[in-house]
Structures are given as structure tokens and as C-alpha cells.
Amino acid sequence: MEIKQITGDINKTEADAIILGVFEDDETNDIEKDLDKALGGTIAALRKSKEIKGKSSELTVIHTLGKIKSAKAAVLGLGKKKDFDATKLRSAMADACRCLQRKNNLKLALTLPDTGLTTYEVARVVAEAAYLGGYSFRKHLTKAADYGDLKCMTVIFKEKIEKSSFEMGAKRGEIVAQATILARDLANEPSNHMTPEDLADAAHQVARESGLKIEILERRDMEKLGMGGLLGVSQASKDINPPKLIMMRYKGREGEGWDLALVGKGLTFDSGGVSIKPSEKMEEMKFDMSGGAATIAAMGAIGKLKLDINVIAAVPATENMPDGAAFKPGDVLKMFTGKTVEVISTDAEGRLILADALGYINKEKPKVIVDMATLTGACVIALGNITTAAITNNQPLMDKVIKAGTSAGERIWQLPAYDEYRDQYKSDYADIKNVGGRPAGTITAGLFLSEFIGDTPWVHLDIAGTAWGDKDKGHLTKGGSGVPVATLVNLAEMLAQE
Ligand code: BES
Ligand code: MN
Ligand code: ZN
């Protein structure tokens, strides 16, 4: 897809449709007036009859019948001017692109009223919307799609703008959107096509494309290192789909040390194991590797953007299956750090594999760690699929992560992490146990992870609700969402600028 800009008159622009952004509470912009005039007063009439209100994502398609060069004018509501920001633009534009994508090689143009956003922001957000709005996962469908693809998106500016700002924004948007799409593709793949080995292969390809170092730790390496958590969870699959610990490294600055460590849960299918899950909706547990997918994809984007930062990443990848060889409730596992864990439920497996990955990456003494995981059903109950839950041991880092999320349009809500909650996972048979009961399930799961990282500043993101959506809305589409790729890239960018 081509994202470009021109300065000039909308009536001269050639496109299948020109999108005209309008505010709900501000009809005074010149561009709207010009287009309305060219269309013989249609827009004003529709405004008057309240068919065009300007509400967010409202799209009114007007056939121009030769009055202007492009065949359609699509009036896109942007909501109230005072509420407008980059997130609103991304969302409305993604909805508009999805609606208009009825034919192949579609060319769209966009013109906006005065939004207060910089040229860079407009370009970045429009690029993200153009790529993400029309996404769908069709890999295993043999039937052709009944909608087309977007070939070109032109942003029309009234006045001359700084071309390089636009190009930088568009490039940035494109890289992040493509990384998000990769994370979506990986998550949407069913587990028979996305085994730990497949996930490692995908990481290899990312590493090749983005110039990252990659290393895959095999089962025997895990045995040598004493990774009882990852080994325990993967025990039932060891001969069929053995576990992998995917390690990726990006060096963007001179000198040693890691400025950021990313750890993502790569559970390629979570049946619950011996503590087996109910079968209803079990198919959705193919997306239990979304944290790992986001980690791999974000590493690729960070490499492509050549950010001035050193980042290390770990993705523990395994299935969680029942089998004669499976680990069982009551088992005691010795983790990489030496801590012992009593298994209460084999379905609380995410924290076991993450514990080893966190302990292992912490040996490299990263300045900060961010982990992301579809960790608890409790998180979905608490926050639905709108908001990611977060836990931290370091408030300044948490504040940065939330800020990075806000500008990515990915909402994050911090939960308390008081030490009192730790009592819930005390065990009589081991140092700790892997379940802290039903109350505050997301918090105790997060605190469990903190047992393996010492004092390193850390944020845990529970993406159990946000990694997956059940409808197309804004830049989010049905299935894997790619959350929190954009947050991670923003965060890396913020840390690189420190
Ligand atoms: N992968 C699940 C969490 C999950 C559930 C994600 C639903 C998305 C939707 C995780 O491994 C799990 O099974 N957690 C258990 C923990 C419990 C046994 C303490 C849960 O939340 O039920
Ligand atoms: Mn589970
Ligand atoms: Zn799981």
C-alpha cells in the first residue's frame, strides 16, 4: 500500500472515494464548504436533515456523478472537536476504510478539518488505520473474499506541509501496523499450524528481516538450566510438540547491557492439562500465545525502526495438554531460579513458564522488564476486552507503559499489588503454589511472577481480554488484536529517547 500526501484542491484529486472528516459540533471548515459547493449543496442538506451528524465513525457515502473527479465522497464523522485525538482519528479512519473496501486496488483520499494534530501524527495514525481496519485472517479459507484491498491512501492538505514529517509518520505507522498484523496472524493460526516450533520459525523470519540475533533453547537446554516450570507444563507434549524458549536480541546502541527486556507467554494451546478446561470455547485457547506473538512482532518493529536502544526478549513456547506423561496437581516443580512451586492447577500454567523465562532473562540484568500474557480469566471478568490489566513493582515504569499504551490507543489499567495478596499463594509443600484462589486472581497471578525477577523494575500486562476481540471495531478486528505491539514499540521509543 502507498501512503502519500498532496497539497491542493480536493476536487482535483483522483480517487475512488474522497473521505471528508467532519466534526459533530463544527461545520465551519473551508474544505467542507468547498466540497459541498462542488456537490451542489448535498452535504449541507444532509447536515440540515440530520442524516450527517458528525458522530464518531458515522459514514455517509455520496455518489458524485461526475461533479468532482472521484466517484464517491464519503463524509466521515470525527465526533466532538473537544474530544478529538489521534486515537479517535485512528478508530474512525479504520472503520471508514473497512466500509469502503468493496473492490480491489481501491484508492482512497482523505481530507481533514483543522484537528490540532501534527502532520507526523496524522500520517502515522492514518497509515495504522489503513492497514489495520481492513485486516482479516483468511489463510485457511478457499473462498475468495467479498471485499477488496486498499492500494493507495492520499492525505490531502490545504496548505503546504513538511513532507519529511509526513513520510516519517507514515513509515512509522506502516511498520507498527505490519507488526500488529503479524501478531494477529500468529495468534489467529490454529494450534495445529502454530506449534512451538512454528512460533520459533516465525521468530526466525522476523529476526532475519529485522537484523536481530535469535537463539532457540531446546528441551535439553532447559533440562541443563533446570527450568522446571517450562519442562513441567510441556511434559505431555515433549515427544510431539516439544517446548522452545525463543530468545531474541536487538542491539541498537553502542555498549553492553539491556535497556528493556520483553517476555511473552507463548502457550500455543491451553487445554488446561490434567485440570482440563470445559470444552465450550476451548478453541479460543489457540490464542494463548498472543503475548509471545506480540513480543516477537514488537522486536521486529523495534529492529526495523532502528531504535537507539538494546532490547532482549524471551518467549517460552509450549502446549499445555493432558496425557499419561503430563504434570499433575500436587507436583512440586523446581524453577530456574531455584524456587519451588506446588502445582494446584495445571491450568495455571502461564505463570509457570513465564517464571522460568523471567528468571532466565533477569540473569542478563536488564534495566526494566515488561511481560505480557493471556494469564487469567479473572482479568476478562474484571475488564472485558476493552482494557489490559497491569501490575508493577515500579511506579515510574508503570506510568511510562500506560503513557505508551494511551498513545497507541491500547488502554491499560493498573491493579494494586500489595504484599498482603502474597499470602494467598503460600504453600505447605513448596515455597509457593501456583494458584492463589479466586479472589483477586489477576493480582495474585501477577505477584506470583514478581517472585522470579528480584528487584528489577517490572510491569506485567494481563492481556487475556484485550488480545482477542469478537467484533470489528475501529482498528481492532475480529480475532487476534495484536495488542500490545503498538504499546511496546512506543515504550521502546520513549526509553530510547531517555
Ligand atoms: N490462558 C488462561 C487464561 C485465559 C482464560 C485467557 C480465558 C483468556 C481467556 C490461563 O492459563 C488459565 O487457564 N488461567 C486460569 C488460572 C486459574 C486456574 C488459577 C484461569 O484464569 O482460570
Ligand atoms: Mn491455563
Ligand atoms: Zn493459559
All structural domains of the chain with their residue ranges: 2-161, 189-496
Q: How far apart are CA 382 and CA 379, in angstroms?
A: 5
User: What are the residues whose beta carbons fall under 8 Å from the beta carbon of 202, sequence distance 6 or more?
Assistant: 182, 186, 296
pLDDT at residue 248 in the model: 99
Examine the pLDDT at 483 and tell me if it is beyond 90: yes
CA distances to 163, 209, 307, 337, 395 from 173, rounded to whole Å, are: 15, 18, 15, 39, 29
pLDDT at residue 211 in the model: 97
Of 321, 376, 470, the residue with max ligand 1 atoms within 8 A of its CB, to mutate for a pocket test, comes to 376
Helices (H), ranges, 81-160? 86-100, 119-133
The angle subtended at Cα 189 by Cα 187 and Cα 190, nearest 5°, is: 115
Residue-wise pLDDT for 290-348, tens only, equals 999 999 999 999 999 999 999 999 999 999 999 999 999 999 999 999 999 999 999 99
The answer to whether 150 touches 94, Cβ cutoff 8 Å, is: no
Mean pLDDT of the 425-454 span: 98
H or E stretch including 109? strand 106-111
pLDDT confidence of 479, banded at 50, 70, 90? very high
Residue 420 one-letter amino acid: E
Of 347, 425, 448, the residue with max ligand 1 atoms within 8 A of its CB, to mutate for a pocket test, comes to 347
Topology, domain 189-496:
Aminopeptidase (3.40.630)
Mean pLDDT of the 200-217 span: 98
Q: What are phi and psi of 50, to 5 degrees?
A: 65, 20
Q: What Rg, from alpha-carbon coordinates, does the chain have?
A: 24
Q: Tell me which residues are annotated as active site.
A: 277, 351
Residue-wise pLDDT for 222-248, tens only, equals 999 999 999 999 999 999 999 999 999
Q: Which residues pair with 216 in a beta bridge?
A: 246
- Ligand 3 (ion): which residues have CB within 5 A? 267, 270, 288, 350
Nearest CA to ligand 1 atom 13: 347
Q: How far apart are CA 360 and CA 340, in angstroms?
A: 15
Examine the pLDDT at 102 and tell me if it is beyond 90: no
Examine the pLDDT at 9 and tell me if it is beyond 90: no
Distance from Cα 438 to the centre of ligand 2, integer Å? 14
**pLDDT winner (highest mean) among 24-28, 142-146, 389-393:** 389-393
Q: Measured from the CA of 349, which atom of ligand 1 is nearest?
A: 11
Cβ-count burial of 89 within 10 angstroms (0-12 exposed, 13-18 middle, 19+ buried)?
A: buried
105: left (phi over 0), alpha (psi -120 to 50) or beta: left
Residue with cell 516477537: 296
CA distances to 298, 409, 476, 485 from 481, rounded to whole Å, are: 13, 12, 6, 9
pLDDT confidence of 13, banded at 50, 70, 90? confident
Task: Name the CATH superfamily housing domain 2-161.
Answer: Leucine Aminopeptidase, subunit E, domain 1 (3.40.220.10)
Q: How many Cα atoms within 13 Å fall on the side-chain side of residue 58?
A: 16
Examine the pLDDT at 27 and tell me if it is beyond 80: no
Q: How far apart are CA 243 and CA 264, in angstroms?
A: 14
Closest-CA residue to 289 (of 246, 252, 331, 330): 246
* Nine cell digits for residue 451: 517472585
pLDDT confidence of 11, banded at 50, 70, 90? confident
Pocket, ligand 1, Cβ cutoff 6 A: 270, 288, 345, 347-350, 374-378, 380, 435, 441, 464
Distance from Cα 483 to the centre of ligand 3, integer Å? 17
